[in-house]
Structure 1
């Protein structure tokens, strides 16, 4: 077939766009359910079960070390599956990443503990956590493109936010299941076998996610690239050599959201139980309420970034992130449930202001033929310097200074880093989208269709 072969010019219908949005949303929600179940279990049970120690802090550090492994392994997933997504297609890669994460999570639910097999239990847990990270590292970039490449580039902030709803939706499911299980079981039953239920349930969720993704079509943008033989042969090298500034901007832009999310969804559980002596159910309740709000607020923030300047909406969240921890911890330290909920909710509202526009902001930094690779590299590399080390640093800072002030200062530094990333990045360019669709004969909704 020649390079000038005809490409279907009809824009995707609304049903195809909605299916892509739901596939992106459901897939990332399922994978983040897997990841969030692990995060919650790391904070609540993995220390005594897999890394027993007379010092509770040591057990927590070891448990959070396995948490970090899931972030450190993400770049491998980003490198491998990001490249494949630009070469082989979005849909194929997303089926593979869902299987990897889902199977790893199921096997964690079947693992023997330290009491049964000794240190081998911890090693197996780390290996499965590594596999989770690889799957999730290749998931995000494709999920963003799955929904955004079917839609109107003028509304990319909203459509791309489907992938961003995955973390709070998954967190909502995971914490809801854990809260239900821990609520009907005694503490001894929960530690013995109850925590496994949430991991084993992932098998049902993975089957559902696969059913949706297998039925999808490939995105119009990737079909156009394929028809015109414009797929990259070495996308990683191209990103490093031609779009290095865009990559740096994208990586830095993710640091503050990752650190903030780790604080208010993961470390807050450890802080209120070990530092304040509060019931862990209080922390779970706060996270559930805040996550429920995020399911609505993230798409809203994405839509606001379409209407206004994308970097401007993002920056409002960054400024709030720099300030709020200095107010949130005094509220939490009152040991009042309503004030604890307020502290967590406002924290995740600020996260929504950053996370809603983030997917569109990052994908728009890269040309269409390199978007899966560039977005995946940015997502996974940022995870290492942001979310991966955050719980460990939170724990160490709290132990070193015996005060929340060090934690708040950490968020302040992360916010400055993200502000630099936004300054280095570029605003969306409708001209670039028009040029791509004109070159490949694939009008995008709202751009090449008169009256759209």
Structure 2
């Protein structure tokens, strides 16, 4: 049966979700959630190690901080299974509200956890629990936001509509890094390590309140409402997904690897390496990252437009091939220690992140039918996070210590090659109808 996204939807349901409301609700949620997530990533590179892990070695502290960083990526698929179940059974709207609450509460509480000097080993335990909560919340966020955008999109515009959740990470990163940048400029090192790093976590509470206000005003998506009308919901979406749709789930996860690897090696690892090994001042490197992420934001709409015009696969293949080549530029650019060359490296990596990330907002939902779409898109997205991001900064730190940046660059190229295999093996989804 072939219908347009709105054809089976009662007029009152479709009318409630205006274009501007859909765009803003899908964008603001991911921006806030990724702000929360990146706040921890930045803190892990700068301060989590010394505050929560009393090793004598700075390298050991960094590795411990990056282990806690990776915990959230293990939790994210669990969150996608959990929230995906309710998103496919109950609806997109209520599930998106719940995921935002879990993420926001976990992030805010991290800002209040005392350090190791105050409560001993309980400090890293509480940190790990709350970091796990961050992963659970984000695991349920992205799939719902992408579906909110794409299931409301007019024909031929899904790549464009699916771009707005993909803009959220750029804005969230810019907000979190910008706040850390401002704190680095205004506080001494002692003030920053003592209490300043906690401010971005606590600010999350205000942002979450804004996001909840917006999310509570949206209506259910037309495609899900149509599935309810046709009585197509399944009892256990994850069981249906794993038994009938395992292949697109795996291919979608492989396609996501390049996005995660590019981003977290260009930000979390590079920030840690730049400050500790290259001795670039913290505020200077944070400022360069703020400049570079603007290019990621610029690449996102360009890539989304191209994905609607030429198809998802051609755009992704071109971006992934460029990412493979970029791995060879890591040592000469980042390793030079020259500010212009380091900035150029960050710009190239984050621009390519935007190119490869933008089509995913439409591609992953298009791989699955409505009754398992929330679960399928979320699981693919977050399994890719385990493969491409959970251990990326840790592996990069180990490789840099033993073989230098050339090895880290080779790791980036290999991760991109994994995504190339996934994209080449999947079908083109541009003309798929979301029913």
Q: TM-score range by the shorter chain?
A: over 0.9
Structure 2 gaps of 5+ residues are: 1-7
Q: Is the 8 A contact 2:111 2:201 kept in 1?
A: yes
Question: What is residue 409 of structure 2 aligned with on the other side?
Answer: 408
Residues 346-391 of structure 1, C-alpha deviations (whole Å, 9 max, x = no match): 1111111100111211111111222111101111211111110101
Which stretches of structure 1, 4 residues or longer, exceed 6 Å deviation after superposition? none
Distance 2:353 2:274 in 1: 20
Distance 1:397 1:295 in 2: 29
Distance 1:374 1:86 in 2: 10
Residues 65-85 of structure 1, C-alpha deviations (whole Å, 9 max, x = no match): 000001011111011111111
Residues 174-207 of structure 1, C-alpha deviations (whole Å, 9 max, x = no match): 0000110111010100000011111110010000
User: Structure 1 length normalisation: TM-score?
Assistant: 0.92
Question: What is residue 420 of structure 1 aligned with on the other side?
Answer: 421
Pick the aligned partner of 2:339 from 324, 334, 337. Answer: 337
Distance 2:288 2:199 in 1: 22
Q: Is the 8 A contact 2:17 2:219 kept in 1?
A: no
Deviation at 1:276, TM superposition (A): 1.1
Q: Is the 8 A contact 1:36 1:170 kept in 2?
A: yes
Deviation at 1:240, TM superposition (A): 1.2
Q: Is the 8 A contact 1:246 1:424 kept in 2?
A: no
- The aligned runs of 1:48-447 (5 Å cut-off) are 48-401=50-403, 403-428=404-429, 430=431, 432-433=433-434, 436=435
Which range moves more in the overlay, 423-432 or 410-419?
423-432
Pick the aligned partner of 1:30 from 26, 29, 32. Answer: 32
Deviation at 1:251, TM superposition (A): 0.8
Distance 2:16 2:426 in 1: 31
Residues 315-369 of structure 1, C-alpha deviations (whole Å, 9 max, x = no match): 1111111111212431223322222111101111111110011121111111122
Number of aligned positions between the proteins = 428
Distance 2:96 2:13 in 1: 23
Distance 1:431 1:255 in 2: 23
Deviation at 1:236, TM superposition (A): 0.9
Structural RMSD (CA):
1.5
Q: Is the 8 A contact 1:235 1:370 kept in 2?
A: yes
Deviation at 1:46, TM superposition (A): 0.5
Q: Is the 8 A contact 2:149 2:164 kept in 1?
A: yes
Question: What is residue 447 of structure 1 aligned with on the other side?
Answer: none
Residues 137-196 of structure 1, C-alpha deviations (whole Å, 9 max, x = no match): 011100000111111141111111111112111110000001101110101000000111
Residues 235-257 of structure 1, C-alpha deviations (whole Å, 9 max, x = no match): 11111111121111101001111
User: Structure 2 length normalisation: TM-score?
Assistant: 0.95
Question: What is residue 443 of structure 1 aligned with on the other side?
Answer: none
Q: Secondary structure at the match of 2:56?
A: coil
Q: Secondary structure at the match of 1:236?
A: helix
Distance 1:274 1:366 in 2: 44
Distance 1:12 1:138 in 2: 24
Q: Is the 8 A contact 2:288 2:343 kept in 1?
A: yes
Which range moves more in the overlay, 158-167 or 332-341?
332-341
Deviation at 1:13, TM superposition (A): 5.5
Q: Secondary structure at the match of 2:429?
A: coil
Residues 283-332 of structure 1, C-alpha deviations (whole Å, 9 max, x = no match): 21121112123223212211110011211111111111111121243122
Question: What is residue 20 of structure 1 aligned with on the other side?
Answer: 22
Distance 1:243 1:294 in 2: 31
Q: Is the 8 A contact 1:325 1:408 kept in 2?
A: yes
